[in-house]
Amino acid sequence: MTLAVLASCALTGIDAPPVRVEVHLAPGLPSFTMVGLADTEVRESRERVRAALLSSGFDFPAGRLTVNLAPADLPKESGRFDLPIAVGVLLASGQIAMPSLAGRARARDAVPPLARLVLAGELSLTGALVPISGALAIALSLSRRQPGAELLLPAGSAGQAARVPGLRVYGAATLRDVVAHLEEKQVLAATARRVDATSGPPPCLSDVKGQYGARRALEVAAAGGHNLLMLGPPGSGKSMLAQRLAGLLPPLRHDDALEAAAIASLAPGPAPTFGLRPFRAPHHSVSGAALVGGGTRPRPGEITYAHLGVLFLDELPEFGRHVLDTLREPLETGRVSIARAQHRTEYPARFQLVAAMNPCRCGWHGSNVKACACTPDQVAAYRARLSGPLLDRIDLQVEVPAAGDDWADLPPGEPTDAVRPRVEAALDRQHRRQGCANAALAPGQVDDHCHPDTAARALWKQAMKQFAWSARTAHRVLKVARTVADLAGAEEIGSPHMAEAVQFRRPLRER
């Protein structure tokens, strides 16, 4: 054969569109050319493929070798094309004798025909296969795009990919193993579907003593999908509370767990526990690209890694203002789109935002534990660092006072397992009523689903006037009141529900 065609895939966002790898060998002066908008990494692949073939005991063919990665307009970064290119070179130069190509009768379920097999893997110079990033994202996307396809990956990536139901995954340690598999000399066993490791319970709310107001805000946040800002001095337990939000949410459905794991597979490092909602807490020095995603070769940011989970921003005013501003759109749309010259990459980013801040720069404004060293102007300036539009998108704002002297004698708080059923019941009501959590109601839907009774409406209108709320803010308060009513199992929003929602929205500067 002088032309070999193999199937591989690119990775844009968490989607893995197919890529055709064509390898052509023609007589002539030895050369090795790659076409199809391959960037630096793919060009480096040339050297790795050559070395890996030689180290594995194969010949590098003498002749004009041309590799085309199609379609040309897909961005193709990463070394995952090494494997299909190397196999293509071996096929084109006649170094692999595939029984199925020779038309030999094959046992059913033996080695799949090449047409059904998708290959992805980076080669080391020794011919070993190096794990690739995004293996689970590739597997998930492939199972949706091409039912019946089979995936051949480096052994180190196959376990992850094998989580996807209905997809056959093979893992190979070296190029020689791949060749032995294709020649049916030593067929690889399909990787067994991973049984999900049981994880320990998430951190429990009973660890937080006292702090009734903040615990209540956390419950309301969980019960309606609302974003939350906690204001309090250092050591008052804001981080502890934030870490306990994900545990209050209903467990992830299997589809969602797979999607979260597919996103996690794009990051280097060990995979987080499967099935747990993500919790991400980037430092305030984070760049805009690291927070929302970006770069010349688009990479997901923290908000995507927090998809279906919680993004915790501690010391909110310390984050760069323009960095925080980049959150505004994803907070509305639940996704982030990164445009590059020829391509647009979209990542999911449906996360719940929990932010925390000190009341002032020194941290002790309004505390009776320690005196604040800031002037009133400094306090005002500190709070003014938060942009209005971002604050506007945070439905719940609550104070977390410093722990008093009696802290050690307080009984343990209500445990997560006792609070979660209330949250689940409230979310259940919302999904049955309107198909989404209250926080996700579009402006046009709010009037349909959030009915205050006469007293509640009067209270709402009065607060709207007193605090000079925009229409957007007033709508958000209505949604929080709806959640409070859902927690109480009430059909209509009553004035106690509205009063609590208004309380969560008092302007920061008045506290």
Q: How many CB atoms sit inside 10 A of residue 73's CB?
A: 9
254 close to 262: Cβ distance less than 8 angstroms: no
**CB-wise, 241 or 372, nearer to Zn ion?**
372
- Euclidean distance between CA atoms 404 and 201, whole angstroms: 29
Residue of 372, 423, 427, 493 that binds Zn ion (CB under 5 A): 372
* Closest CB to Zn ion among residues 318, 424: 318
- At closest approach, how far in Å is the CB of 402 from Zn ion? 13
b/e 235-265 (16+ beta carbons within 10 angstroms → b): ebbbeebbbbbbbbbeebeeeebbbbbbbbb
Our CB check for Zn ion shows the closer of 132 and 372 to be 372
How far is Cα 197 from Cα 207, in angstroms, rounded to an integer? 25
With respect to Zn ion, which residue has the nearer C-beta, 374 or 440? 374
Q: At a CB cut-off of 8 Å and minimum separation 6, what does 368 contact?
A: 402
d(CA 120, CA 141): 14
Of 187, 186, 6, 190, the residue nearest 90 (C-alpha): 6
# binding residues, Zn ion (CB under 5 A): 5
Stretch that binds Zn ion, among 11-19, 358-366, 388-396, 498-506 (CB under 5 A): 358-366
Minimum CB separation of residue 317 from Zn ion in Å reads: 12
Kindly indicate which of the ranges 73-81, 142-150, 172-180, 354-362 contains the residues binding Zn ion, using the contact rule CB under 5 A. 354-362
Span of 101-109, 233-241, 353-361, 399-407 interacting with Zn ion by CB under 5 A: 353-361
Q: Which stretch binds Zn ion (CB under 5 A): 209-217, 346-354, 360-368, 449-457?
A: 360-368
Least distance to Zn ion from the beta carbon of 219, Å?
30
- Round to whole Å and give the CA distance between 134 and 122: 13
**Residue 402 is a binding residue for Zn ion (CB under 5 A):** no
Tokens of 237: 């337990």
Stretch that binds Zn ion, among 52-60, 192-200, 355-363, 410-418 (CB under 5 A): 355-363
Least CB distance from residue 354 to Zn ion, whole Å? 23
**Pick from 80, 277, 365, 429: which binds Zn ion (CB under 5 A)?**
365
Give least dist CB 400 to Zn ion, A. 16
HSE (CB half, 13 Å, CA atoms) of 139?
A: 33
Considering the complex, what minimum distance in angstroms separates the CB of residue 364 from Zn ion?
5
Helix 454-466 vs helix 495-503: crossing angle, to nearest 10: 20
> For Zn ion, which is the closer residue by CB, 62 or 373?
373
Structure tokens at 113: 């025909």
Stretch that binds Zn ion, among 242-250, 261-269, 361-369, 465-473 (CB under 5 A): 361-369
360 binds Zn ion (CB under 5 A): yes
**Could you say whether residue 374 binds Zn ion (CB under 5 A)?**
yes
3-state secondary structure of 261: helix
Show the beta-strand stretches assigned E in 352-437: 352-357, 396-399
Interface residues toward Zn ion, by CB under 5 A: 360, 362, 365, 372, 374
